[in-house]
Amino acid sequence: MFTCTGSEANDIALRIARSYTRREGVIVTRLAYHGLTEAVAELSPSLGAFTPRGPRVRLIDAPDGLRIPAAEQGAKLAADLEQAIAEMRADGIEPAAFIVDTIFSSDGLHPDPEGFLKPAADLIRAEGGLFIADEVQPGFARTGDTFWGFQRHGLVPDMVTMGKPMGNGFPLSAAAMRPELVAEFGEKARYFNTFGGNPVAAAAGMAVLDVIAEEGLQANVAKIGAFLKAGLLKIATRYPKIAQVRGAGLFLAVECVTSRKTNAPDAARAGFVVNHLRENGVLISATGPGANILKIRPPLVLQEPEAQLFLDAVDAAFAASS
């Protein structure tokens, strides 16, 4: 189903999930962002305290690549999900869906280890709900080794939502799902979107897919992403306030801490680096529960000279912050 924004895609996915399961409960991660409509803003705790969480929504901790051993990530996420479902049922609410950004962009970017998301996806299905992969932020081919973020975990979602990367910024988004989900919804409810999938948007989307294929951008993402990650890891050896470099393809994170002994978040340093980079012509942002994680998401067409320019700018920013 074509829509115009990622918010709209998640909104219709939520409606269909609740209609199909005849349930209302939704589980999301603690700093998730799934959109701006009233329905999905209730699923977006990253919007802040003035956007209240919906009464049928429960939060669980996101993975933490720095503080939780890799081998425990999958089991912990599934256990937290199981606990949230139990608490939901204690309140008389049945789970309709677990919706997750498969690279945990707003929670601090936690793509690894590959496969850790599958136990949670299996659990929500076993409990009668649907697994919805929000691919709006990962986008097309961004993780390099796979086209979709969820493919890193060896699973097929019940529903997939996608947004702005579809049209390279042009308003185009979509929700894809198992045929029986939308068929049942279509029998019971009307849905139309005046501009969703319009010819201009469709042309933009086709052009994006053509360029990704013809210019080998997924391979470029893997290559330049590895170059950037290696460079960031080298920089981290010189600055003890960098606790971890992580990511996949051209979606990377650098976590700033006050001390590697405590791993206490250093939001001030992250903010300094973001502003120093901006003043020198490089734009990134900070994310995560402590606002201490540099969120690095360059264009898929990035080449090595520009990547090196970025690394030099990051090195200079951390040097200036010391």
What domains are there in the chain, each with its CATH number? 2-213 (3.40.640.10), 217-321 (3.90.1150.10)
Whether the pLDDT of residue 189 is over 90: the answer is: no
pLDDT level of residue 14 (50, 70, 90 thresholds)? very high
Confidence of residue 190 (pLDDT cuts 50, 70, 90): confident
pLDDT of amino acid 188: 84
What's residue 192's pLDDT?
Answer: 87
The CA-CA-CA angle for residues 154, 17, 57, to 5°, reads 95
- 134-151 pLDDT, tens digit per residue, is 999 988 999 999 999 999
What is the rounded distance in angstroms from the CA atom of residue 94 to the CA atom of residue 281?
A: 49
With cut-offs at 50, 70 and 90, classify the pLDDT of residue 187. confident
pLDDT, position 49: 86
Q: How far apart are CA 97 and CA 181, in angstroms?
A: 13
Contact 129, 24 (CB under 8 A): no
For 256-272, the pLDDT digits (tens) are: 999 999 999 999 999 99
Determine which helix (DSSP H) or strand (DSSP E) holds 95, and give its type and residue range: strand 95-101
DSSP state of 265: B
Entry pTM: 0.95
What's the token pair of residue 212?
Answer: 């990704």
* Amino acid at site 174: A
The amino acid at 211? V
What is residue 88's predicted lDDT score, i.e. its pLDDT?
98
pLDDT band at 75, cuts 50/70/90?
very high
Model pLDDT for residues 202-248, shown as the tens digit of each residue: 999 999 999 999 999 999 999 999 999 999 999 999 999 999 999 99
